[in-house]
A and B are shown apart, each in its own frame.
Chain A
Amino acid sequence: MTTEAADSTDAVGTVAPAADPGFLQRHGGTIEYILIPGAALVGALAVFGIFVAMFGKNPLDLYFYMYYGAFGTWFSWQNTLTRAAPLILTALCTALPAQLGMVIIGGEGALLIGALSATSAALALQGMPPFVVQVAMVCAGVIGGGLWIMLAGGLRQYRGVNETISSLLLVYIALAILNHLVEGLMRDPASLNKPSTREIGAANMIGSIPGTDVHWGLVFGLIAAIASYILIYHTVFGFAARVAGGNIRAAKIVGLGVDKLILTVCFLAGGAAGLAGMVEVAAVQGRTNANLAAGYGFTGILVAFLARQNPLAIIPVAILLGGISASGGLLQRRLGLPDASVLVLQGIIFVFVLASDALYGRIGFLKGKS
C-alpha cells in the first residue's frame, strides 16, 4: 500500500520518463509483492540447504526429494492439496484480523474447538440423513471456532488485552479442553491406547472430490478464500475494516462501528479455522482426538504472512507449504532427516519473509526512476 503511494509521488516528483512510462511503474507494486517473498523463499531454501549439508546430506538431493514429494507425482499432488486445505482456512484466521491491524496467532485453538463442536454436533444427530449431519457439522465448527477467536477480539476491544498473547493462551486452553473431554465425558470406551471420541460414522464423512483422493475440504478452503477476498476488497464492510486497520481514530471519527467490525472479523476468522477443524474431523480423522493438534494452525500463521495477508495469495502459498509438509515423509525415508526438518524450514522461511519486509520500495529498477 505505502509503496504504491510512494511510487506515484516519485513519478510526479521526477521528470516524466521519456518513453513507455511504464509497465514497471504501474505494476511495480504488484511485482514487488511477488518478487520479494519469492526471493525470501529462495534465500530460505538456500540456507536450509546449507544447514542440511552441515549434517552431511546432499542439498541437491534435498531439493529433488522436496519437489518430488510435493509436486512430482499425481499422488504427491493429492497429498499436497489435502494438506493445503486446512492451511488455507487457518491462514484466513490470521489474515482476516490482520486487515484490522490485529495479530491473531490462535488458529490452532479455533481449529481444535471447531473440531470438537463439529464432532459433538455429529454425535448428537446420529441417525439423521448425512446431509443434515454435515450441514450441522459445518455450522457447529464455524460457530465454535468463530466464538473462540471472537473472545480474543472482544477481550482486546473491551478490556485492552493484547490479542496476540490471549489468542495463543487460548490455544493451550483449547487443547486442555479437548484432552479433558476426549479422556472423560466424550471418550469412546473402545479407544484404549489413544483416547478418542466415538466415530461420526462413515456415512457422515464428506468424502473425496470425484476422480481424486483429495477431500472436499479443499473446495471449502477455496470458497472461503475467494469469499474473503471479495469481502475485503469489494464490499463496503471490507472497506470499513481496512479503514479501521489503517487508522482506527479516523474510522471512529467517520462513525464506523469499530467494535462490531472487530468482533465480526474475528468471528469470521475463527470460523474459518473452526471449519478447518470440522474438515479434519469429517474428511480425515472421523473422530476427535489429540491427533488434531498437528500444527496446521501454526503453519497457517506463516502462510498468512508469506501471502502478505492477501486471501487470494493464500491459496498458492498454502499449496506451496502444504507441499513442503507433504514432502516431509519422503525426506525422512530417503535422506534420514528428522521429521522436525519441516519445522526448521518453515521457521527459516518465516524469518526470511519478515526480514524481507525491509526491502519494499527500495528496489531501484521497480521505482521507474532510471
Chain B
Amino acid sequence: MADGSIGLWTVPLAVLGGAIRVSTPFLFVSLGECITERSGRINLGLEGTLVMGAMSAYGISYLTGSPWLGVLAAGITGALLGALHAGICSLPRVNDVAVGIALMLFGTGLAFYLGKPLIEPTAPRLPAIDFGWWSDIPQVRAALRINVLFLIGVVLAPILYWAFRTTRWGLLIRTAGESSDAARAMGHSVLLIRLRATMVGGFLAGIGGSFLSLFYPGSWNEGLSSGQGITAVALVIFARWDPLLCLWASLAFGGAAALGPALQSVGVTSGYHLFNAAPYILTLAIMIITCSPKRTLTGAPAELSITR
C-alpha cells in the first residue's frame, strides 16, 4: 500500500473522506431539526434554510473576506427563517408541515434571487485541518483534510445529548414536545419555547448551509443543495430524535452520498445518477424498515404532528 498505487482502495478511502466531508451539512441540519422536533414542531423548511445559509455565508465571506463571519451570517439568516416559521405557526389553525413547504420554496427562491451576483466571484473559503500529515498517500491525505465545522458538529452532538437529559432548557424543550399542557401548567409559554427551539434549529441549519458554499463543494450555485435539507429531516426520524444517533446517521448518509463520486473517480461511470440518489433511497429504505403503522415510533415527541 505504501507504493502509492492503492488501486481499489481508493473507493473505501473516498467514501470515508466523503463521509466526513459530505456529512457535515446533514449533521448540522439534523441536530437543528432534532432540537425543533423535540419541542413538538416540525420544520420542513430547513431545505430552504440550508440554501439561504449557503448563499448568505458565501456573500458575507466575499464581501468581508472572512469566512467565519460568513458562517455567523448563515446562522443568523437561519435563525431569522426559523423565527418566521415559528411566528406563522403560532397563529391558530396553521399547519406546521405546510408552512415548512412554503418556507422551502421561499428560502430557495430568495437565495437564488439574492445570490445571482455571487455565482461569478470566488469567496475566501473555510480552512481545513490536515489530519493526514503522517501519510504519504495523497488519497489518505485528501480524505483526512477535515474542516473545523465538522469537529464542532461532532462535539455538539454529545453536548446536545447531555443537555436534553440534564439541563433545565433541555427538559423544558422536551416537556413542550411531550405535553404542551404540562408545560403550560408549569407556567411556561409553549409558543415561546418552540420559537426559541425553531430559531436554534434554523441557526444550526444555516451553518450547515455555510459549509456547502464555503468548504465542500465550496462555491455558490443554484444546484448546490439537492434535497440534503429534507433528507436530514427524515434522518432525524431514523435517528429517533437522539442527537448521538444523528451523528452516526449523518456519517452513514455522507458515505452513501460520496459513493457516486468515489466510483466515478475509479472509472465506474454507469449508474452515476443512481449512486447519487443513494442517500434518498437509503432514507426511504430505512424509513420503510423502522416505521410501523401499528405504533408510534419510540422516542417520538408526543406533540409532533408528523408521527401522529
Residues of A participating in the B interface, judged by any CB pair closer than 8 Å: 103, 105, 155, 157-162, 164-166, 168-173, 175-177, 179-180, 183-184, 298, 301-302, 305, 338, 340-348, 350-351, 353-355, 357-358, 360
Contacts and interface: CB of A to CB of B under 8 A. Distances in A.
Interface of B: 44, 48, 84, 88, 91-95, 97-99, 101-103, 105-110, 112-113, 116, 222, 226-227, 230-231, 233-234, 237, 270-274, 276-277, 280-281, 283-284, 287-288, 291-294, 306-307
Contacts of A177: 273-274, 277
Sorted from nearest, which 10 A-B pairs have the closest CB atoms?
A347-B106, A343-B109, A176-B277, A340-B112, A350-B102, A358-B91, A160-B293, A179-B273, A340-B113, A344-B109
B93 A161 contact: no
B288 A176 contact: no
Which of A105, A183, A298, A353 is the most central at the interface, judged by chain B CB atoms within 10 Å of its CB? Answer: A105
* Chain B interface SS verdict (over half): helix
B293 A176 contact: no
Contacts of B88: 351, 354-355
Contacts of B91: 355, 357-358
A298 B273 contact: no
A305 B100 CA distance: 13
B234 A343 contact: no
26 contacts: A159-B287, A160-B292, A162-B306, A165-B44, A165-B230, A165-B234, A168-B227, A171-B227, A172-B227, A173-B277, A175-B277, A176-B280, A180-B271, A184-B270, A305-B102, A340-B109, A343-B110, A344-B106, A344-B113, A347-B106, A351-B88, A351-B102, A353-B102, A354-B95, A357-B94, A358-B92
B102 A354 contact: yes
Nearest to A164: B97
A173 B281 contact: yes
A234 to B, nearest CB: 27
Nearest to B292: A160
B109 A346 contact: yes
A340 B287 CA distance: 33
B273 A183 contact: yes
Contacts of B291: 159-162
Contacts of B293: 157-160
Nearest to B93: A357
Given A158-B293, A162-B291, A180-B272, 10 more contacts: A155-B287, A169-B231, A173-B277, A176-B276, A340-B112, A345-B109, A346-B109, A347-B105, A350-B106, A351-B102
Given A183-B273, A354-B99, A357-B91, A343 B113 contact: yes
A329 to B, nearest CB: 16
* Chain A interface SS verdict (over half): helix
A158 to B, nearest CB: 6
B102 A169 contact: no
B73 to A, nearest CB: 18
Contact of A360 (B93, B226, B277): B93
A177 B308 CA distance: 32
A43 to B, nearest CB: 13
B283 A354 contact: no
A168 B273 CA distance: 17
A227 to B, nearest CB: 26
B94 A343 contact: no
B108 A343 contact: yes
Contacts of B292: 159-160
B146 to A, nearest CB: 27
Contact of B288 (A155, A342, A355): A155
A150 B270 CA distance: 29
Contacts of A179: 273
Contact of B116 (A184, A301, A338, A350): A338
B105 A298 contact: yes
A250 B102 CA distance: 31
B205 to A, nearest CB: 16
A176 B292 CA distance: 27
B90 to A, nearest CB: 9
Contacts of A180: 271-274
Contacts of A346: 105-106, 109
Contact of A347 (B93, B107, B231, B307): B107
Nearest to B288: A159
Nearest to A163: B306
Contacts of A165: 44, 230, 233-234, 237, 287, 306
A254 B107 CA distance: 44
